[in-house]
Amino acid sequence: MHIRLNEQWLQLTASCTVAELLQQQQIPPQGLAVAINNTVIAKRQWPAQQLNDNDCVNIFHIVTGG
């Protein structure tokens, strides 16, 4: 399975969820937002949100302040 992660193609050995992807890529989930195909996914949905072949996944660091 192939996905596009932050503008770079990535080959995954099997289907996975957003939470599993972050764990596989060793990306700490704190302070992040995730969008799949330009749709933001709520953090509570990450453990159940399955990724599909050719999905475009963008991971953003949330910045707060004025």
48 within domain boundaries: yes
pTM of the model: 0.90
Measured at the CA of 38, the angle between CA 36 and CA 7, to 5 degrees, comes to 75
- CA atoms of 45 and 18, how far apart (whole Å): 8
Looking at the structure of the chain, the number of domains it has is 1
Domain CATH for 42: 3.10.20.30
Domain coverage including residue 17 = 2-61
Measured at the CA of 7, the angle between CA 34 and CA 2, to 5 degrees, comes to 85
- CA atoms of 14 and 29, how far apart (whole Å): 21
23 within domain boundaries: yes
Q: Pairing mode, if any, of strands 32-36 and 56-61?
A: antiparallel
pLDDT tens digits for range 11-50: 998 899 999 999 999 999 999 999 999 999 999 999 999 9
31 within domain boundaries: yes
For residue 66, the model assigns a pLDDT of 64
66 within domain boundaries: no
Alpha helices, DSSP H, located in the chain: 18-24
| 65 confidence band (pLDDT: 50, 70, 90) | confident
38 within domain boundaries: yes
